[in-house]
Amino acid sequence: MSRKVLLIEDEPNITEAIRFLLTREGWQVDTHAEGTDAVQVILSARPDLVILDVMLPGKSGMDVLRDLREHDEMKALPVLMLTARGQSRDREMAEQAGVSRFMTKPFSNTEVLTAVRDLHAQASQS
């Protein structure tokens, strides 16, 4: 199975940190910083995993996730959602929308790597 991640995050420092971390681990990392056309970008990129920020310009990560899950071929795509606001309501909304895992910023490199490895391994088994 390939190891292609699409990172949808509008904060350049976070984008660079995650890209560096995952590239070093052998992942191909594509990035996008806009919510408005994120679903189209995901559909055309066909990643093995999506890392999605909640707060994006144009359209929220929650709306992107809901729209994405409406596509049959995207129902099983692992999505790791990142948020600066770790309220339980956000977590519940993300779970209802079909998130695979939820992570609150700031997070450690180890947390990101563990989440990505776990989600990829789960997807490989299904």
Q: What is the CATH number of the domain that holds 9?
A: 3.40.50.2300
CA pair distance 118, 61, nearest whole angstrom = 21
CA pair distance 34, 76, nearest whole angstrom = 22
The pLDDT, as a whole number, for residue 90 is 87
Digit-coded pLDDT (tens) for 28-71: 999 999 999 999 999 999 999 999 999 999 999 999 999 999 99
Digit-coded pLDDT (tens) for 105-126: 999 999 999 999 999 999 988 7
Q: Total domain count for the chain?
A: 1
pLDDT of 2 over the 80 cut:
no
The pLDDT, as a whole number, for residue 94 is 93
Backbone angles phi, psi at 100, to 5 degrees: -85, -40
pLDDT of 98 over the 90 cut:
yes
pLDDT of 18 over the 80 cut:
yes
Mean predicted lDDT score pLDDT of the chain: 94
Tell me the three-class secondary structure of the chain, residue by residue: CCCEEEEECCCHHHHHHHHHHHHHCCCEEEEECCCCCHHHHHHHHCCCEEEEECCCCCCCHHHHHHHHHCCHHHCCCCEEEEECCCCHHHHHHHHHHCCCEEEECCCCHHHHHHHHHHHHHHHHHC
Q: Which carries the bigger pLDDT value, residue 90 or residue 11?
A: 11
Confirm if 99 and 65 have CB atoms less than 8 A apart: yes
Total-model pTM: 0.96
Confidence category of residue 87, pLDDT binned at 50, 70, 90: confident
Confirm if 5 and 50 have CB atoms less than 8 A apart: yes
Over residues 17-29, the mean pLDDT reads 97
Range of the domain at 45: 4-125
